[in-house]
Amino acid sequence: MERRRGAAAAAAIVARVTATAEASIGGRTAPPLELRPIDALGLPLAAVAVWALLGAGADAVALLPLVAAAAAAPALARIDQAERRLPNALTLPLLALATAAAAVRLATGDLSPLVGLACGAALLGMAAVGGMGMGDVKLGAALALAASTLGWLAPVAGLVAAIMLGGVAGGVLLALGRRSLAFGPWLLTGAAVGVALVAAV
């Protein structure tokens, strides 16, 4: 009997927390992640990333988060473009992996991840004034921390490139009468530019 009461109480708590979470986002829950055949383009993209990073002398600490980001890039770009959201099912694992890689770098005395962290803080500031959503912040922070495993220049160049490219795209859309811009694809493109720049040096 006590176990049943405990289970019922636990179920009630879970229901209450779920209801509160749903209410906090307007009574809607995020739709489940559904991948499409086009998202499989992440596999050859990841293979190219492995080839390029190994050719540039990257180690496993840099390789893992950057290749994971490359693999997820097509799905993230597609979903953000179509639905104006970046699902936690993709952004949070990337953020966790990038944070772990950055922590390894910091443990060896490399302070470059602090620059990646500063880039994430800059994105958070932009979100606070209404410049982007929290999905963009999570993805941007993950990309900046992952890029920082290659040095301080990669996350800075990536963020600058993303803002510049996104700004140009936003200006074009505004001229066409559209006010909504999916920033996720530009974060991904900017990160690729930053990584490619450092790899080419």
**Residue at 68 is within a domain:** yes
Domain that holds residue 2: 1-30
What pTM was estimated for this model as a whole? 0.84
Domains in the chain, number: 2
Are 26 and 46 members of one domain? no
Q: Supply φ then ψ for residue 174, to 5 degrees.
A: -65, -40
Residue 195 lies in a domain: yes
Residue 35 lies in a domain: no
Contact 105, 62 (CB under 8 A): no
Residues 122 and 72 in one domain: yes
List the end-to-end C-alpha distance of the chain, in Å, as a whole number.
69
As given in the structure block, the two tokens for residue 134 are 């929290």
Per cent of the chain over pLDDT 70 is 85
Q: Is 93 found in the same domain as 138? A: yes
Residue at 67 is within a domain: yes
Do residues 47 and 144 both lie within one domain? yes
Helices (H), strands (E): how many in the chain? Answer: 8, 0
Q: What is the CA radius of gyration of the chain?
A: 19
Based on the fold, state whether residues 12 and 45 are members of the same structural domain. Answer: no
Do 133 and 63 lie in one domain? The reply is: yes
Say if 49 falls within a structural domain. yes
Domain membership of residue 36 (yes or no) is no
What pLDDT digit, counting tens, does each position of 41-60 carry?
A: 999 999 999 999 999 999 99
Could you read off the pLDDT of 68-113 as tens digits, one per residue? 999 999 999 999 999 999 999 999 999 999 999 999 999 999 999 9
Q: What's the pLDDT score for residue 180?
A: 78
Same domain for 26 and 52, yes or no, is: no
Both 16 and 94 in one domain: the answer is no
CB atoms within 10 A of CB 92: 13
25 and 106, same domain (yes or no): no
Same structural domain for residues 55 and 109?
Answer: yes
Rounded Cα gap, residues 90 and 193, in angstroms: 21
